[in-house]
Amino acid sequence: MSDFFSKIVLASHNQGKIKEFQNLFLPYQIEIISQASLGIKEAEEPFNTFIENALQKARQASQASGLPAIADDSGICAVALGNLPGVYSARFADAEHKSDQKNNQKLSQLLGQTTDKTVFYYCCLVFITHEQDPTPIIAEGKWFGKWSLEPMGENGFGYDPHFYLPEKNMTVAQLEIEEKNQQSHRAKAFHDLIKKLKLTYEIFPN
């Protein structure tokens, strides 16, 4: 295996996400290093699309570390609202004082006025070999559900208590954590990324 890919920096300060990526790449003997451990600050996310924000984060992490980088951007989208909150999911109700409770209340208020309660979680992953990589690998995952005006479940966070899965007859917050991690939008994006990396680089055997 090339030393060039022996380490990849992850543009995240989230310990749970870091552990997920480390486990994902474990079979390929690739070390995932968090940008936090390298003293790299979180990037600004000024764009209106997940792809642009993820690419921005990956480029900053790669430039600061000199390593290949992976970044993700994710959120919830309501079809009846033109896929909002989208990239504003974490700060939907209040940009300065982020609050899951306020975000859920605002989305419930808006979707309570619509007949279409279709929502989906979306995750975009970007992999680049260096800051100026002209061919970033972009992977995505979607997880569809219906918005429940009443919260249910204690296991999730963010919008999970309202994200109802008709096929399971429960919300994401009622799922076991292991099941959520296997079915989530991020898990789907993980698999999409690995599939594309295998098609591009020999160090990812089929």
What percent of the chain is modeled with pLDDT above 90?
73
Which structure tokens are listed for 145?
């559900």
- Which residues are identified as catalytic? 73
pTM: 0.89
How is domain 3-200 classified at the CATH fold level? Maf protein (3.90.950)
Cα–Cα distance, 128 to 58 (Å, whole number): 7
Which structure tokens are listed for 49?
């699309």
Return the closest-CA partner of residue 7 out of 69, 56, 71: 69
**Confidence check: pLDDT of 168 > 60:** yes
Q: Enumerate the domain spans of the chain.
A: 3-200
**Confidence check: pLDDT of 171 > 60:** yes
Q: What's the pLDDT band for 38 if we cut at 50, 70, 90?
A: very high
Burial-class residue 107 by CB neighbours within 10 Å (0-12, 13-18, 19+): buried
**Confidence check: pLDDT of 132 > 70:** yes
Q: What's the pLDDT band for 135 if we cut at 50, 70, 90?
A: very high
Q: Is 104 left (phi over 0), alpha (psi -120 to 50) or beta?
A: alpha
Contact between residue 73 and residue 50 where contact means Cβ atoms under 8 Å apart? yes
Q: What's the pLDDT band for 2 if we cut at 50, 70, 90?
A: very low
Which structure tokens are listed for 58?
């990956």
> What residues contact residue 23 under an 8 Å CB cut-off, 6+ apart?
none
Average the pLDDT over 17-25 and give the result.
Answer: 83
Task: Count Cβ atoms below 10 Å from residue 27 Cβ, excluding itself.
Answer: 10
* pLDDT digit string, tens, across residues 48-72: 999 999 999 999 999 999 999 999 9
Residue 4 sits at φ, ψ, to 5 deg, of: -60, -30
Please report which helix (H) or strand (E) contains residue 108, including its range: helix 100-111
C-alpha pair distances (Å), 44 with each of 55, 56, 111, 188: 11, 8, 29, 25
Average the pLDDT over 170-174 and give the result.
Answer: 96
* pLDDT digit string, tens, across residues 71-130: 999 999 999 999 999 999 989 998 888 899 999 999 999 999 999 999 999 999 999 999
**Confidence check: pLDDT of 6 > 50:** yes
pLDDT of the residue at 104: 97
What percent of the chain is modeled with pLDDT above 70?
96
